[in-house]
């Protein structure tokens, strides 16, 4: 009898699991749910539509992709070697190789004969990819919110908040922050499968999927280390008993988090990102953390002053200190909610805290004390609470039941309108830094970056004005003198402007005599002024200080070449190619130098590398002449035909020589 009773209990335990599975699968088959999901995605897409008109900005976009040689040089021949290099490297101290690899992949696809979006510019297609990844995250949020107990309307409100909240804009409209939407998609995917793992009775096939998604998320952004802690929050809301076993069963996930966390700290420290721009003692940095936590809470409801840079003050503001009251208040609210078994509130607070705690700049990294992008995943916890309140507000306060939906719609409309306009500041570097300067006009970085944009877009007078402002704000910084010198150097090739450039480079070197770039730039200026020996001296000094300075080798090789010293020119070209073997023009210059030295046979492999990187008609033409010189008429004629068909300029008499006509 006892035995039969025991079996009966077991069958009762298993039955809900089957029902839960059916319920889980039914989501994708119900037109009502799919229709709501489509509406959420459409509204979210409209909110970010202006991002498709944006380009790139000089706020890390340059180092992440458009000046990142691992991305820009990628082609069918070096695709896998570049991929390997990407996964071995960090960018600005950050290890997010999968995000960088997606830029390389997009570059490769964009250069293909049939790009995925042939009518879009490259920057537009990158923005579209960001938006589509964000929509994947929004869909997952909608599904996860329902799986964690919200009804369809509460979950829809959560998903809409996640989709259109203005604090999302930095993560979606900034191409560099591909890492947010990419890691977010894998992170939320892992959460989805963890819930399925629990609902299925802990089937290990789901854990295998989770491991893959977690790995991809970690390779996308180090912020994914909080996933195992997020799983503990899910354990709580799924009514799993709070025991140490919950941690032990996830030991492998915590181990992965620890390994990637240590790797991230090592790379940040190695790059120098952990060196604080403003020195606050550790006890004060605790108040930086409490202030940041409080501001993130406030901005989840009232998103104000959204800028990509929140600079440190030279001295900690007095109003940071009272913010520490947020710690006992949060703990008290958490304890009250826990004791009264308000699990939706407890889950939301836990999830938000777990995913923001490592980003509170208690250990400072970077130039700002806040960042809108840090909230991308963390805000799911707060939005979950707001969705729970939204779905129950009418029951708690029956008198306002009929206005809950209109109020919710107004909130979504307001946030969507704010996001739509906020996307426009990412149009280019000019609009971006002008927006920052509305709030912070006493720091040099936005003036300097806007000046660089004006300089590169040919707006010389505006660039000069901004550079001069930077010099006025901080006259002892060498960088602005160097930048203004470059502006003079690039503006007009006449003696007066070159002398202005020379004066600025002299000042930069006076303030910082150990920066190789300043000598390289002054050397180029001397060369234009015809003072070649002084130019050689400066370029040699540059390479002594910075032996990996590519432009130094390039410019010195030009000087040696012009002086007829082809052996030294070739030596500098070789040094350049050791550092950057993916420059086809320098392979051509290497081949040319070898030909001038009479080493024709040795020149052919260099022409091969040049053509491999960029199959220009001119390269084929020069290789044809070289093949002819070494007596290989068959290959000479093949190359000549290709060169001629592709419009190479043919010197008189060469065709008759090579083709025998």
**DSSP structure string for 574-594:** HHHHHH-TT-HHHHHHHHHHH
Of 139, 127, 151, 64, nearest to 99 (Cα)? 64
Higher pLDDT, 202 or 293: 293
State the chain's mean pLDDT as an integer: 89
Residue 282 pLDDT > 90 = no
Instruction: Read off the pLDDT band of 654 (50, 70, 90).
Output: confident
Structural domain of residue 90, as residue ranges?
12-423
Residue 497 pLDDT > 50 = yes
Q: Residue 91: beta bridge partners?
A: 94
- Residue 124 inside a domain? The answer is yes
pLDDT score at 164? 97
Looking at the chain, the whole-number percentage of residues with pLDDT higher than 90 is 66
- Residue 575 inside a domain? The answer is no
Of 378, 180, 351, 187, nearest to 292 (Cα)? 378
Tens of pLDDT, residue by residue over 622-631, are: 999 999 999 9
d(Cα 403, Cα 412) in Å, to the nearest integer?
Answer: 14
Under a CB-based contact definition with an 8 Å cutoff, are residues 372 and 301 in contact? no
Looking at the chain, the whole-number percentage of residues with pLDDT higher than 70 is 93
d(Cα 293, Cα 287) in Å, to the nearest integer?
Answer: 10
Residue 338 pLDDT > 90 = no
SS (H, E, C) 108-128: HHHCCCCCCCCCCCHHHHHHH
- Residue 552 inside a domain? The answer is no
The domain that contains 657 carries what CATH number?
A: 1.25.40
Instruction: Read off the pLDDT band of 12 (50, 70, 90).
Output: very low
pLDDT score at 112? 78
Residue 277 pLDDT > 70 = no
Residue 55 pLDDT > 50 = yes
- All residues at 6 or more sequence positions from 317 whose CB lies less than 8 Å from its CB, including other chains: none
Instruction: Read off the pLDDT band of 279 (50, 70, 90).
Output: low
d(Cα 380, Cα 400) in Å, to the nearest integer?
Answer: 26
Residue 1 pLDDT > 80 = no
SS3 call for 23: helix
d(Cα 83, Cα 76) in Å, to the nearest integer?
Answer: 12
Of 257, 39, 28, nearest to 135 (Cα)? 39
pLDDT score at 6? 42
pLDDT score at 285? 79
pLDDT score at 327? 85
d(Cα 279, Cα 312) in Å, to the nearest integer?
Answer: 10
Average pLDDT over residues 152-171: 96
Tens of pLDDT, residue by residue over 406-455, are: 999 999 999 999 999 999 999 999 999 999 999 999 889 999 999 999 99
Residue 272 pLDDT > 80 = no
Highest-scoring range by mean pLDDT, 20-24, 289-293, 384-388: 384-388
Residue 645 pLDDT > 80 = yes
Residue 605 pLDDT > 90 = yes
Tens of pLDDT, residue by residue over 369-408, are: 889 999 999 999 999 999 999 999 988 998 898 999 999 9
Of 201, 198, 261, 186, nearest to 233 (Cα)? 198
Number of domains the chain contains: 2
Query: Of 423, 449, 465, at which residue does a domain stop?
Result: 423
Instruction: Read off the pLDDT band of 500 (50, 70, 90).
Output: very high
Instruction: Read off the pLDDT band of 26 (50, 70, 90).
Output: low
- Determine if residue 660 is left, alpha or beta; phi over 0 gives left, psi from -120 to 50 gives alpha, anything else beta: left
SS3 call for 311: strand
- Residue 297 inside a domain? The answer is yes
pLDDT score at 14? 40
Query: Of 379, 394, 423, at which residue does a domain stop?
Result: 423
Under a CB-based contact definition with an 8 Å cutoff, are residues 543 and 553 in contact? yes
- Residue 328 inside a domain? The answer is yes
| Rounded (10°) CA dihedral 34, 38, 44, 49 | 160
d(Cα 417, Cα 411) in Å, to the nearest integer?
Answer: 10
Name the DSSP class of 59. T
Under a CB-based contact definition with an 8 Å cutoff, are residues 43 and 163 in contact? yes
Highest-scoring range by mean pLDDT, 155-159, 265-269, 316-320, 617-621: 155-159
SS3 call for 72: helix
Instruction: Read off the pLDDT band of 657 (50, 70, 90).
Output: confident
Under a CB-based contact definition with an 8 Å cutoff, are residues 198 and 240 in contact? yes
d(Cα 468, Cα 236) in Å, to the nearest integer?
Answer: 57
pLDDT score at 4? 43
| Rounded (10°) CA dihedral 357, 363, 365, 367 | 100
Instruction: Read off the pLDDT band of 483 (50, 70, 90).
Output: very high
Residue 24 pLDDT > 50 = no
- 190-204, 259-273, 557-571: segment of lowest average pLDDT: 259-273
pLDDT score at 493? 74
Of 621, 614, 615, nearest to 650 (Cα)? 621
- Determine if residue 631 is left, alpha or beta; phi over 0 gives left, psi from -120 to 50 gives alpha, anything else beta: left
- All residues at 6 or more sequence positions from 513 whose CB lies less than 8 Å from its CB, including other chains: none
SS3 call for 91: strand
- Residue 536 inside a domain? The answer is no
Write 39-44 long-range contacts (CB < 8 A, 24+). 40/138, 40/139, 40/142, 40/156, 40/159, 40/160, 40/163, 41/135, 41/138, 41/139, 41/163, 43/160, 43/163, 43/164, 43/412, 43/416, 44/134, 44/135, 44/138, 44/160, 44/163, 44/164
- Residue 487 inside a domain? The answer is no
Report residue 91: phi and psi, to 5°. Answer: -125, 120
Residue 461 pLDDT > 70 = yes
d(Cα 457, Cα 114) in Å, to the nearest integer?
Answer: 30
- All residues at 6 or more sequence positions from 197 whose CB lies less than 8 Å from its CB, including other chains: 203, 206, 207, 210
- Tokens 């089957």 -> residue: 18
- Residue 178 inside a domain? The answer is yes
Query: Of 423, 449, 468, at which residue does a domain stop?
Result: 423
Tens of pLDDT, residue by residue over 542-555, are: 999 999 999 999 99
Of 382, 411, 392, nearest to 150 (Cα)? 392
């Amino acid at each position: 009898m006892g035995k039969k009773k025991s079996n009966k209990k077991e069958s009762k335990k298993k039955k809900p699991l089957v029902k839960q599975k059916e319920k889980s699968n039914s989501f994708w088959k119900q037109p009502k749910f799919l229709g709501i999901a489509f509406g959420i995605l459409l509204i979210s897409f409209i909110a970010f539509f202006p991002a498709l008109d944006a380009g790139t900005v000089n706020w890390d976009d340059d180092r992440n992709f458009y000046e990142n040689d691992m991305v820009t040089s990628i082609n069918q021949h070096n695709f896998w070697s570049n991929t390997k290099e990407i996964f071995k490297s960090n960018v600005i101290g950050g290890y997010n190789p999968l995000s960088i690899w997606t830029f390389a992949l997009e570059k490769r696809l964009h250069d293909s004969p049939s790009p995925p979006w042939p009518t879009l510019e490259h920057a537009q297609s990158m923005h579209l990819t960001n938006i589509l990844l964000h929509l994947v995250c929004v869909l997952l949020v909608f599904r996860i919110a329902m799986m964690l107990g919200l009804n369809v309307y509460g979950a829809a409100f959560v998903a809409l908040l996640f989709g259109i909240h203005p604090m999302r804009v930095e993560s979606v409209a900034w191409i560099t922050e591909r890492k947010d939407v990419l890691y977010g998609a894998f992170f939320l995917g892992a959460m989805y499968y963890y819930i399925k793992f629990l609902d299925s009775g802990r089937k290990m096939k789901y854990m295998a999927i989770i491991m893959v998604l977690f790995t991809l998320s970690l390779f996308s952004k180090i912020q994914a280390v909080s996933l195992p802690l997020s799983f503990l929050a899910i354990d709580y809301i799924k009514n799993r008993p709070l025991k140490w076993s919950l941690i032990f069963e996830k030991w492998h996930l915590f181990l992965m988090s620890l390994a990637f966390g240590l790797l991230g700290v090592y790379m940040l420290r190695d790059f120098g990102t952990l060196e604080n721009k403003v020195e606050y003692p550790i006890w004060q940095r605790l108040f930086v953390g409490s202030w940041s936590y409080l501001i993130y809470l406030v901005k989840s409801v009232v998103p104000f002053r959204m800028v990509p840079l929140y600079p440190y003050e030279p001295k900690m503001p007095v109003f940071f200190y009272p913010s520490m009251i947020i710690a006992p208040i949060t703990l008290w609210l958490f304890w009250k909610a826990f004791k009264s078994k308000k699990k939706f509130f407890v889950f939301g607070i836990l999830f938000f805290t777990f995913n923001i705690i490592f980003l509170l700049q208690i250990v400072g990294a970077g130039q700002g004390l806040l960042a809108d992008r840090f909230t991308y995943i963390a805000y799911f916890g707060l939005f979950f609470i707001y969705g729970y309140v939204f779905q129950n507000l009418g029951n708690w306060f029956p008198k306002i039941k009929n206005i809950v939906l209109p109020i919710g719609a107004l909130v979504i409309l307001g946030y969507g309108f704010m996001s739509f306009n906020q996307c426009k500041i990412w149009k280019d570097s000019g609009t971006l830094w002008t927006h920052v300067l509305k709030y912070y006009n006493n720091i040099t970085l936005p003036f300097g970056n806007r000046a660089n944009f004006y300089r590169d877009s040919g707006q010389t007078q505006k660039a000069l004005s901004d550079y001069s402002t930077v010099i006025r704000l901080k006259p002892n910084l060498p960088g602005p003198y160097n930048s203004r010198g470059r502006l003079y150097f690039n503006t007009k090739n006449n003696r007066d402007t070159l002398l202005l450039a020379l004066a600025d480079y002299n000042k930069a070197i006076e303030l910082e005599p150990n920066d190789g770039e300043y000598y390289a730039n002054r050397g180029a200026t001397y060369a234009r002024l015809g003072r070649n020996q002084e130019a050689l001296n400066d370029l040699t000094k540059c390479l002594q200080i910075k032996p990996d300075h590519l432009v130094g080798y390039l410019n010195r090789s030009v000087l040696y070449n012009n002086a007829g010293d082809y052996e030294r020119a070739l030596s500098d070209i070789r040094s350049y190619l050791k550092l950057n073997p993916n420059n086809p023009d320098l392979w051509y210059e290497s081949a040319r130098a070898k030909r001038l030295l009479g080493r024709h046979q040795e020149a052919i492999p260099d022409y091969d590398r040049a053509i491999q990187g960029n199959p220009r008609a001119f390269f084929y033409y020069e290789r044809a002449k070289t093949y002819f010189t070494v007596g290989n008429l068959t290959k000479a004629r093949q190359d000549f035909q290709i060169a001629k068909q592709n419009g190479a300029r043919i010197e008189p008499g060469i065709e008759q020589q090579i083709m025998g006509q």
